[in-house]
Amino acid sequence: MTTAANLLPLQGKNILLGISGGIAAYKSADLVRRLKERGAEVRVILTPAASEFITPLTLQALSGNPVGQSLLDPAAEAAMGHIELARWADFILVAPASADVIARITHGMANDLLTTCILAANAPFAIAPAMNQQMYKNIATQSNLATLISRNIHIYGPAAGEQACGDVGMGRMLEPLQLAELVVAFFQQSPKPLTGLKIAITAGPTREAIDPVRYISNHSSGKMGYALADAAAKLGAEVTLISGPVQLTTPAGVNRIDVVSAQDMYQAALTAAPEHNIFIGCAAVADYRMAEVSGQKLKKTADKNELTLQLVKNPDIIAQVSALTEKRPFTVGFAAETENVQAYALQKLQSKKLDLICANDVSVAGQGFNSEQNAVTVFGHNLQQSLTLQDKTTLATALIQLIVEQYKK
């Protein structure tokens, strides 16, 4: 189920907020609230000068976490040491960043808890400068900021305007709301893990015409293939979904090609496959089709109680994809079985020359065909990994991650 909390843009992100000494430090209390209301977990470090402007108690109450102040505090170090704090952070924001802290960060100093954590951290980080306009203009500060930019450190602001000291000019810290939105934008812009990867997926059943009004098909709903397409697209992949007739909406950002019969799917799949890095055959392709499709509706006859349809085998789409000699994609099949799941899956892995096969037992009620949930075991040539019963959306994300991991090996 999707809840409102799941939709918060900084949900699951650990933000380390460093506050240095400056009058703008009072605004950082509001910044903590803005970050938290966007779903972030926030921990605060105060420099010694900052604690002259704002109390640790305020920030502790707002962040819900103890506030770090000293590198030499045995109790704080025992709770979460500075290296642990540096590793905990997904993002570090120093706001306000005084001229002094900017200089110390630029030169790699580690003479208080904040600068030590920054030096020890591997997380992306940003500073929000706040100082007197003349200090900001000073060549020393400008040169420090240029150095930080060259190291891919983000500089948020400052804004121009009236300053606490009475001057007017550049050097005001951005407003807490603006800063919180810049942090959100940072996470939204960071490249998705599957960017640049092309994945083709077949999904749903195929329909094999008997005559103009009847067909042979199966119970595949297409939900698993669509969930895989959605998960791959959300992770940044370019997805082509070759879909048999289903009642599902196209996942956002996915290129969908509609087909009806196995032969249509074969054409579409063989055209698409060489252009993709990974091919996932999730469709329940009809094994047989009519040897000849009747041009007219077959009529019931009064004298015969039996009707024999002559069927011929359909091409094995995935086996053909896997047999490509040029531009062969990493090929992943599905095996929906009702018995001997492992043995049949391994047999298919070999006979179709697949890289991976995802096996599921469709005899178990509530998983596989037409259900909301599924459980699979993935077999490779040196791999066996089970993904337990879960909703198809969650399973799809785990499956895509596992497939991509194996593809990259």
Minimal distance in Å, beta carbon 202 to ligand C5P? 6
Residue 111: C-alpha distances to residues 69, 117, 122, 141, 324 (Å): 12, 10, 18, 19, 61
Residue with tokens 């009620």: 365
- Using the rule CB under 6 A, give the single segment among 114-122, 175-183, 333-341, 369-377 that binds ligand C5P: 333-341
- Nearest-angstrom CA–CA distance, 382 and 406: 10
Of these residues, 117, 165, 282, 358, which one is catalytic?
165
Piece of the chain touching ligand C5P by CB under 6 A; list 243-251, 270-278, 327-335, 375-383: 327-335
Residues between 288 and 317 that touch ligand C5P (CB under 6 A) = 314, 316-317
Task: Closer to ligand C5P by CB, 63 or 261: give it.
Answer: 261
> 225-264 mask for ligand C5P (x: CB under 6 A)?
-------------------------------------x--
Q: How far is the CB of 285 from ligand C5P (least distance, A)?
A: 4
d(CA 21, CA 49): 4
In 111-245, the DSSP E strands lie at 125-129, 154-155, 159-162, 168-172, 198-203, 208-211, 214-216, 238-243
Choices 31-39, 138-146, 279-287, 371-379 (CB under 6 A): range interacting with ligand C5P: 279-287
What is the phi-psi region of residue 37: left when phi exceeds 0, alpha when psi lies from -120 to 50, beta otherwise?
alpha
User: Quick check: 281 binds ligand C5P (CB under 6 A)?
Assistant: yes
Q: How far is the CB of 284 from ligand C5P (least distance, A)?
A: 7
Q: Report how far apart, in Å, the C-alpha atoms of 64 and of each of 39, 57, 117 are.
A: 13, 10, 20
The residue type at 351? S
Among 102, 197, 318, 395, binds ligand C5P (CB under 6 A): 318
Q: Are 366 and 373 spatial neighbours (Cβ–Cβ below 8 Å)?
A: yes
**What is the closest distance, in whole angstroms, from the C-beta atom of residue 246 to ligand C5P in the complex?**
14
257, 268 contact by CB (below 8 A): yes
Nearer to ligand C5P, 142 or 271 (CB): 271
165: annotated active-site residue: yes
- The answer to whether the CB of 266 falls within 8 A of the CB of 324 is no
> Is there binding between residue 283 and ligand C5P (CB under 6 A)?
yes
- Determine, following the binding rule CB under 6 A, whether residue 335 of this chain makes contact with ligand C5P: yes
CA distance 41 to 63: 8
Q: Is 348 in the site for ligand C5P (CB under 6 A)?
A: yes
Distances (CA, A) of 163 to 26, 45, 110, 180: 14, 25, 30, 22
If one asks whether residue 272 binds ligand C5P (CB under 6 A), the answer comes out as: no
Active site residues per annotation? 165
| Contacts to ligand C5P by CB under 6 A | 202, 262, 281-283, 285, 314, 316-318, 333-335, 348
